[in-house]
Amino acid sequence: MKNRFSPRQIVVAVAVAVGLATSAFAMPPQGDGPNGPVSRMHERQMERGMKEMSRLHDDLKLDAKQEALWQTADKAGKDSMNGMRERFSKHHEEIQTLLAQPGADLRAVAKRMDDFKAEGQKLHEAIRDRWLTVYDSLNANQKEQARLFFKSKIEQAKHFGRHDGRHETGRN
């Protein structure tokens, strides 16, 4: 008995496989939606991190200039986080709409996803630079307190199976 697939069957199988892979790529980590359980868990972690940063803030005993820089960086970070949350939700909907269209151009979808990722990276770097400006304004004792604070956070993340802000699920 000869088992041959027709070219049409092969094309359909490849199209389905590519469609599923692209849909999975467009999903947030663990297939969670913008308001799903993983997103809420991330928000709780962010709130805990903000409380810890508040304690660091209190421990540093900033002068007026340092306090102004801290407040500027803090506000920019919060504004950026809120904006990214809204942009992610919109981006997720756009990707789903594009993929729902028959004959969707997967290169265009991938380009859109790459552009969104690059935008997020630029925002992340801008916020990091604001916080580094705060760090630059600290005296030696305050810098040591900040170093020890972040060292403990990295050790905690490693203890919970996270490195460099990512869960160990094989994703980069």
Residue 74: which domain range? 7-167
In a domain, 155, yes or no: yes
Q: Is residue 156 situated within a structural domain?
A: yes
54: in domain: yes
Measured between alpha carbons, how far is residue 127 from residues 74, 81, 133 in Å?
Answer: 9, 10, 10
In a domain, 2, yes or no: no
| Separation in Å, CA 33 to CA 26, 47, 91 | 10, 19, 12
Whether 1 is covered by a domain: the verdict is: no
pLDDT, tens digit, for every residue of 128-161?
A: 999 999 999 999 999 999 999 888 888 887 776 6
> Is 172 part of any domain?
no
More confident of the two residues 8 and 55: 55
Q: How many domains does the chain have?
A: 1
**Whether this model's pTM surpasses 0.75:** no
